[in-house]
Chain A
């Protein structure tokens, strides 16, 4: 069970970490993602009980219980749907949706696209390690086509999914990439995403030390995006089509009206609804 929080004047990142210790392999990038999330929450000083972390299935989906926020650990690929329902029904809450690349881009692909379209005020953090870690190392949609694995010996041969392109094309109004080796930068981006009114998508490169030890090279490949974020979708689109997959930073932060919140004010009573049936 998550910690009982004590009321404090100022909340630090520590206030958002629960007593439950993660089971992630030592070396996993998700540790710093958890820290970055707690730091971002501290930046915004949100009371933990007014924040909900919604996840699917996979290593990174274990995150909710590691925070002192309300958590929802649902089924594989449907975290965005659960988070959408929660936020639309309870707009007063801050809703974070977390998961991995398999959860978000494979089984969850359809919901990902529609969440970008729908623009409900959620912050979606995908910990992308280009593999299905929890089920022992199969290719995920972002896996390189030539990565040898047991289900697809020699590699899938299928072009990998480019989540930022899909997000932008589907209408996401905040698109960013972060790297687990840069927790401070990540915390900043997450906080920005949370402040952004509407759907914020943050893809986090988060190496898997157990199944993709070669991803330790990522720290040498990532680099800050050469240009500042744009609010022009067309410009963002041109940039993303030549993106090398290692640009870190906010790519696009545009203005779109967020999906309208519930509840609207009641203008009729239930009894008044009957009148249309009167024979």
Chain B
């Protein structure tokens, strides 16, 4: 029997509430897993290698092209007011406070979050997570909490790399191609970037790291309980897509909220 729209709305509301509750409990278990012993430091190192070192090339090219575009666009806009000397300041502030944390998080969500979600989803549907439970091994301590910790370490570091490479990209475009004075590029950057700006970028990168690892790993973990995901390989594929979309949107929404609150 087809449900009326009010009933369908109620169903969706209940589902969203259940899902949020499930996600909150998952986050709590993930944090608790970090404090349970013996903690798997080796797994953390492997994950840092996968998330951090493995993403370096992607981050390098994204940062370089973003910085160079900012250099060109910034020069074009600032030259209209005769303020080319402010290029270093504009590029650095944009990258440190905004584009560095956001683009790094989006790239990592696409590259690592999807892989993480698919890996955990496959472990769930092939009963590997049930097997861990039945061996009295806490799956959170064993492999989920190390992913959280590795992401919280790697993403801020990747963001720092992004910022530095992006600023160099801006320098290449602004100074090397458009003829802005090297001194004014660096001087402008030094005088305008404050500790508060850097703190904002660091806070953002920690929050984004948490959002990406939380949403992507939890979607995989709950693959059998996600409405409309179906079963088997298809469910993993759908949930992986959903994880990347949700985490990317969350990063953008929280970017606005954090900017509004902390700026």
A interacts with B: no
